[in-house]
Copies of this chain bind each other. A is one copy, B any other.
């Protein structure tokens, strides 16, 4: 790719100190920060509170455990708020939002707000489905540190698309770039759009994480567990700078997927190898393997990459 708005880590390294972008860190600095955060995560074992859909609970918990975080799923009223105050990071995933989970999510948001716990919103399949679409709007207004979804979900959350069966595979994350920027600025949140290359923005910078593997889309929870990993990374040092934490999550996740795909015979063995890889990936491999590109949002906003 030859998009002049974006620089590889190598390029960023070469120009380091000579021509910094007007906002945000260069790619090499983000990669180094991701490596350091991974090491720190394994020392601190952030307690990561996931209220997530019933399809991916096991995979999500195993991804967190393998990574080095401490997962817990407390998704009932009367407990979720208490636990969000104890936890280091929280994920709210709207995949199967039964009434009890909706109550628990509202408690968790309140508990997280009281304790200053950063939390992630994953607006699964918002748009066409009314209950979660209303819930997502309500939760978005409550101040997540980060939002993670695919392009159609981010577009729907920003009110620009119908969601579902939509834009994802055809257009990729770039189709949701403006929506992501708008959400990030309006809600002071990091917004991550998953796709062949993930697009992550805090409203000032746009980071693309080119690490990853298509087999992740053939494993249920491949996206949902990434939201939990974002919450874990946000839980390492709290939510500032949240951009670094969310980029670290995507980078580690994508690199583990690349490693897992080597020698996988299909999505079953890939999923097993992916969990192994999340545990085996070293900080050095993160900084060496990162394929990040960074641009200022205002520049990136001028045209399609």
Chain A residues packing against B (C-beta within 8 Å): 47, 53-59, 61-62, 65-66, 71-76, 78-79, 82-83, 86, 95-100, 125, 128-132, 164-165, 217-221, 265-269, 271-280
Q: How far is the CB of A100 from chain B (nearest CB, A)?
A: 5
Contacts of A78 in B (CB 8 A): 130-131
Most buried by B among A58, A72, A86, A221: A58
A274 to B271, CA, bound (A): 13
Partner pick for A129 among B54, B79, B221, B278, CB 8 A cutoff: B79
Partner pick for A79 among B66, B76, B132, CB 8 A cutoff: B132
A130 to B86, CA, bound (A): 14
A54 to B65, CA, bound (A): 17
Can you list 22 A-B pairs with a CB-CB distance of less than 8 A? A53-B73, A54-B73, A56-B58, A58-B59, A58-B221, A61-B220, A62-B220, A65-B217, A65-B218, A66-B218, A73-B95, A74-B125, A74-B129, A76-B99, A79-B131, A83-B128, A86-B165, A266-B276, A266-B278, A268-B273, A268-B279, A269-B273
Contacts of A221 in B (CB 8 A): 58
Residue of B nearest to A102 (CB): B76
Contacts of A275 in B (CB 8 A): 266-268, 271
Contact A73 B57 (CB under 8 A): no
